[in-house]
Amino acid sequence: MPRFRRYYLAGHPVFVTLVTHGRNPWLADEASVRVLLASMRSVNAIYRYSHLAHVVLPDHFHWLFKPDDVAHLSKIIAAEKRDVTWRFKTLASLPGPWWQNRFYDHIVRDQDDFARHLDYIHFNPVKHGIARNPGAYSYSSFHEWRRRGA
């Protein structure tokens, strides 16, 4: 099995994609999204980070955040997967595994790169044919960004 090296830069946001095992669409309902978001808050209490944006689709989610300690990035991802799994095992009768083993990540390099990834996150439901526009999809941070005037 290949060993991937991940390089992070302190003070830079990270764009992450986590995919469900076998693209199983178990993130398709509001209760599942609430569990995922609650898990993000729980993990943030352990490994501090600034939550910048997210979108949750039925079989994956995109997340943009800035870890307070860049060395904790992989720990944040592992804790998120573990916490969601524990919560779902108590709520649902879905058999595991729940997540793909790896995750995709990208260090956001500058403001233009940040804007591209923020747009990618918010337009992802449109790209996948789930919504006609980002405002029509409720499982994303688009509405929060709009409230802020962005």
Examine residue 7 and state whether it is found in any structural domain, yes or no.
no
pLDDT of res. 1: 47
Examine residue 52 and state whether it is found in any structural domain, yes or no.
yes
Q: What's the CATH code of the domain at 90?
A: 3.30.70.1290
Range of the domain at 52: 14-147
- pLDDT tens profile 10-56: 678 999 999 999 999 999 999 999 999 999 999 999 999 999 999 99
Which distant-in-sequence residues (6+ apart) come within 8 Å of 131 by Cβ?
A: 125, 137
Examine residue 2 and state whether it is found in any structural domain, yes or no.
no
Domain count along the chain? 1
Examine residue 1 and state whether it is found in any structural domain, yes or no.
no
Examine residue 33 and state whether it is found in any structural domain, yes or no.
yes
Examine residue 55 and state whether it is found in any structural domain, yes or no.
yes
pLDDT band at 3 (very low <50, low <70, confident <90, very high): low
Examine residue 5 and state whether it is found in any structural domain, yes or no.
no
Higher pLDDT residue, 150 or 132? 132
What average pLDDT does the chain have?
A: 90
Burial of residue 114 (number of CB atoms within 10 Å: 0-12, 13-18, 19+): middle
Do the bridges between strand 49-57 and strand 60-67 make them parallel or antiparallel, or are there none, so unpaired?
A: antiparallel
Mean pLDDT value of segment 98-118: 93
Mean pLDDT value of segment 80-87: 92
